[in-house]
Amino acid sequence: MKTCWLLVVLVTLVASHAEAAQAVPGTIFYFDGHKEEIKVMVHELANGKPDFSRLEKCIRYKDINGEKKSLYPDDAQKVRIWFDGKTYWMKSILMSTRDHRGRKLFVCCLVEGRMSLFLYQTLRAPRRGSGDRTVYLLRHVDGRSPKPLFFDGFKKTMGGYFSDCPALMKLIENRTFKERDMEEIVTYYNSKCE
């Protein structure tokens, strides 16, 4: 009897999770310059944001004829997705993390500029508990593979990336900017530091 209830609960959870996927508009930007309008199936996390981890290795979509297709990071430069009134950019980037070294993934670009900030949801963090978690990746304009940020010492970590901008480092040291302000930190760096 317990097995039956467990099976019912499991089926209900899977069904409710599958229903969370929404078909949202998107645009594929191919390497050769052409674009394609699509509908992307995006799952929503409990916090109401898109589950990017389901899009990193393969984006499943429907073309304008309703045909189901798959897009891999080697196939396109980037994909623009509109979800809940906000635009998200999934960029195909060559990874340097130990889990995906030398492999391309679609990663959400939060800030683009001289320093770009990406959100990577499937990286196994080297901390106690070692579960999957969201990690920021930073890439300088030189175009090298982005590096993961592990905040085992926030000020020290930031100094390694932003030491060429004393004004920003002062704001970090004075705690005006904290770990949760990564988008603002990178935006500040791109707009006010040379």
Q: Does a structural domain hold residue 72?
A: no
Determine phi and psi for 55, rounding to 5 degrees: -110, -5
Q: Does a structural domain hold residue 11?
A: no
Q: Does a structural domain hold residue 167?
A: yes
Torsion from C-alpha of 105, 121, 46, 16, nearest 10 degrees: 50
Q: Which domain holds residue 157?
A: 151-194
* Tens digit of each residue's pLDDT (9 = 90 or more) over 95-115: 876 666 678 999 999 999 999
33: region left, alpha or beta (phi > 0 left; psi from -120 to 50 alpha): left
Q: Does a structural domain hold residue 176?
A: yes
Residues 6 or more apart whose CB falls under 8 angstroms from that of 31 comprise: 76, 77
Q: Does a structural domain hold residue 155?
A: yes
Q: What is the pTM of this model?
A: 0.76
Coil, helix or strand for 9? helix
* Tens digit of each residue's pLDDT (9 = 90 or more) over 72-95: 999 999 999 999 899 999 999 888
Q: Does a structural domain hold residue 118?
A: no
Q: Does a structural domain hold residue 160?
A: yes
Q: Does a structural domain hold residue 143?
A: no
Q: How many domains does the chain have?
A: 1
Residues 6 or more apart whose CB falls under 8 angstroms from that of 53 comprise: 121, 122, 132
* Tens digit of each residue's pLDDT (9 = 90 or more) over 120-145: 876 444 454 444 456 788 888 776 66
